[in-house]
Amino acid sequence: MKGLTLNCLGKKEEAYELRSDKKYDEAIKCYRNALKWDKDNLQILRDLSLLQIQMRDLEGYRETRYQLLQLRPAQRASWIGYAIAYHLLEDYEMAAKILEEFRKTQQTSPDKVDYEYSELLLYQNQVLREAGLNKEALEHLCTYEKQICDKLAVEETKGREVISRHVVLKLLS
């Protein structure tokens, strides 16, 4: 709380020193208390989410990222951060659903090179694979292959999928 009070008084350097003393649990309490006074403060929410992820408070991180998504639904970082929260909680299906909903909102031409969109597609594919949805992940990769800039990653992922299928078939026979 002292750090937040100092921050409000314009003494930002002193406020950051308290946070940098590595008393993260205390800092999280202070941020939560500050949110009681200003529940929609984006900076406090972002700082809180960073502390929560650093302390591996994944449930708290998910809640904070949800608040940020509610406040800024048009920002890419809000969607990705919320999906990452579910990914880290190993709720891969929910993470995949969030990423798909966000992907649908993106207006991207198939001919245009968009690196951020490309990385979104690769991340979405990773989540699908981690969810055990290998067939869907391969279909996803084939569907969006032209929009993914990292061709090597596409080929490596396809290759791993083919090899793993071959190994499974060999084990079953």
Round to whole Å and give the CA distance between 154 and 142.
9
Q: What is the CATH number of domain 1-72?
A: 1.25.40
Q: Would you say residue 67 has pLDDT above 90?
A: yes
Give the pLDDT band (50/70/90) at residue 152. Answer: very high
Q: Distance (Å, rounded) from C-alpha 21 to C-alpha 170?
A: 56
In terms of Cα–Cα distance, which of 165, 169, 167, 143 is closest to 154?
Answer: 143
Fold agreement (1-72, 78-173): yes
Q: Residue 132 corresponds to which amino acid?
A: G
The predicted pLDDT at position 62 comes to 98
Q: What is the pLDDT of residues 75-134, one digit of tens each?
A: 999 999 999 999 999 999 999 999 999 999 987 777 777 899 999 999 999 999 999 999
What pLDDT digit, counting tens, does each position of 3-33 carry? 555 455 554 565 566 566 677 888 888 888 8
Q: Which of 82, 2, 11, 62 is nearest to 34 (CA)?
A: 2
Q: Domain residues of the chain, as ranges?
A: 1-72, 78-173
Are the beta carbons of 63 and 87 closer than 8 angstroms?
A: no
- Is the pLDDT at 137 greater than 80? The verdict is yes
Claim: this prediction has a pTM higher than 0.95:
no
Class of domain 78-173: mainly alpha
Q: Is 134 exposed, middle or buried (0-12, 13-18, 19+ CB in 10 A)?
A: middle
Q: Is the pLDDT assigned to residue 138 strictly greater than 90?
A: yes
In the prediction, which pLDDT does 127 show? 97
